[in-house]
Amino acid sequence: MEPNAGGPLLEIADLSKVYGPLKALDQVTLNVDQGEWLSIVGPSGSGKTTLMNIVGCMDQPTAGAVRLDGRDLSALGAKELTQVRRETVGLIFQKFHMIGHLTALENVMVAQYYHSLPDESEALAALGRVGLAERATHLPSQLSGGEQQRVCIARALINYPKLVLADEPTGNLDADNERIVLDLFAQLHEQGTTLIVVTHDPAVAAQGEREVRLDHGRIVQEIRHRAARPGQVLKEAGHVA
C-alpha cells in the first residue's frame, strides 16, 4: 500500500469531554490522514490521554463526533465499539501491562484470543517483527523494560491495525530502547500504518510529520515537521489558536 494515499482515516469534530466543571477536552477538531504520523504534546492534564481513549473506543465523548475509518463512533453500540477497537486500532501505553505469569509469546497470544483464534506461529512472527523471537518463552520478570515494551508493541500489532495509538510509549525507556521503539514506528509508518504518538519528549515528537499541542483540552498549536509526501510543499509552522 502506498503511504498517505487515502484521505482522512480519523476525523474529529468539536469533540468535548467534561467532568463536572472540568473540560478535559474542549471542542477539539482534528483530522488525521491515512498513513500520517502525528505527535500530540502538551502539559500533564491537558487531555492527551482522554483524546486517545476516545479515539481508541475505550471512552465516550460528552459532545462532538469521531469518524474512524469511515464509521461514526457515536452511532456504534458497545459491541461494535469493541470490534472496531480490536480490528482497527492497536494500543500502546506507557506502562507495560504484561501478564506476569505468562511468557512473552503467551502475552501476545492473549490479544489474538480476543480477536480470533490464537495462532502460535503468527504470534511468534509478531515477536519477530519487534526483534524478540528468541525471547518468546521468557516471563516479563526475565525481560528488560525495553523488551517488555516491545512485547506490548508486538501485541498491539498482531492484527495489523490501520491506526496505532501510543500514549507516552517511550516514557519508561532508556535512550537505546527509545531508539528501538522509534525505529519500529518508522517501519510501521513506511508500511502505511497511521500513527498517533503522545509524548513529553520533543525529540520523539519531532519524529512525527505533524505535531499538535493540547492545553486545557484545546489545540493551541500545530507544527509541521516534515512533508507527508515527498515533494509536498511545507506550510509554515505556526499557531492555530
In the complex, the residues that contact Mg ion under the rule CB under 5 A are: 48-49
Candidate list 1, 5, 13, 22; residue touching ligand ADP; CB under 6 A = 22
Q: Find cell 458497545 and name the residue.
A: 78
User: What burial class does residue 240 get, using C-beta atoms within 10 Å of its C-beta: 0-12 exposed, 13-18 middle, 19+ buried?
Assistant: exposed
Q: Are 211 and 222 in contact (CB under 8 A)?
A: yes
Q: Which is nearer to Mg ion, 49 or 149 (CB)?
A: 49
Q: Is 45 exposed, middle or buried (0-12, 13-18, 19+ CB in 10 A)?
A: middle
Stretch that binds ligand ADP, among 17-25, 141-149, 154-162, 176-184 (CB under 6 A): 17-25
Burial zone of 203 (CB within 10 Å; 0-12 exposed, 13-18 middle, 19+ buried): exposed
Considering the complex, state which of residue 51 and residue 104 has its C-beta at the smaller distance from Mg ion: 51
Residue 48 as a binder of ligand ADP (CB under 6 A): the answer is: yes
- Residue closer to Mg ion by CB (options 49, 112) is 49
Cβ-based nearer residue to Mg ion, 157 or 214: 214
Residues numbered 151 to 170 that lie near ligand ADP (CB under 6 A) are none
Q: Which stretch binds ligand ADP (CB under 6 A): 38-46, 78-86, 152-160, 232-240?
A: 38-46
Nearest to ligand ADP of 29, 60 (CB atom)? 60
Q: From CA 105, how far away is CA 24, in angstroms rounded? A: 37
- Min separation Cβ 53 and ligand ADP, Å: 8
Does 21 help bind ligand ADP (rule: CB under 6 A)? Answer: no
Grid coordinates belonging to 23: 473540560
The answer to the question of residue 44 lying near ligand ADP (CB under 6 A) is yes
Distance between CA atoms of residues 40 and 42, nearest Å: 7
Among 11, 27, 29, 45, binds ligand ADP (CB under 6 A): 45
Q: How far is the CB of 123 from Mg ion (least distance, A)?
A: 29
The residue ranges that bind ligand ADP (CB under 6 A) are: 19, 22, 24, 42, 44-50
